[in-house]
Homo-oligomer: A and B are copies of this chain.
Amino acid sequence: MVGAHAGVRGVTPKGESTRKYILDRAADMASVSGLEPVTIGSLARSLGMSKSGVYAHFGSKEELQLATIGAARERYSETVIAPGLKAPKGLAQIEEIMERLLAYLANRTFPGGCFFNSVNAEFHARPGLVRDTIREGKRNWRAQIADMTRDAQELGEIRADVDPELFAFQLESFVDAANWTLDDPVAQALVRRAIRECIDNAIM
Contact = CB atoms under 8 A, between A and B. Distances in A.
A16 to B, nearest CB: 30
Interface string A110-127: 011100011011101110
Q: State the copy count for this chain.
A: 2
Interface in A150-200: 163, 165-166, 169-170, 172-174, 176-177, 179-182, 187, 190-191, 193-194, 197
Interface residues of A, number: 39
A90 interface: no
A201 B202 CA distance: 12
Interface in A14-60: 31-34, 36-37
Contact of A174 (B126, B135, B173): B173
A121 B126 contact: no
A142 to B, nearest CB: 9
Contact of A180 (B121, B182, B190, B194): B121
Interface of A: 31-34, 36-37, 111-113, 117-118, 120-122, 124-126, 135, 163, 165-166, 169-170, 172-174, 176-177, 179-182, 187, 190-191, 193-194, 197, 201
27 contacts: A32-B126, A33-B122, A33-B125, A34-B34, A34-B121, A34-B122, A112-B124, A112-B125, A113-B125, A120-B180, A121-B180, A124-B179, A124-B180, A124-B181, A124-B182, A166-B193, A169-B187, A169-B190, A169-B194, A170-B174, A170-B194, A173-B173, A173-B176, A173-B177, A173-B194, A176-B176, A176-B177
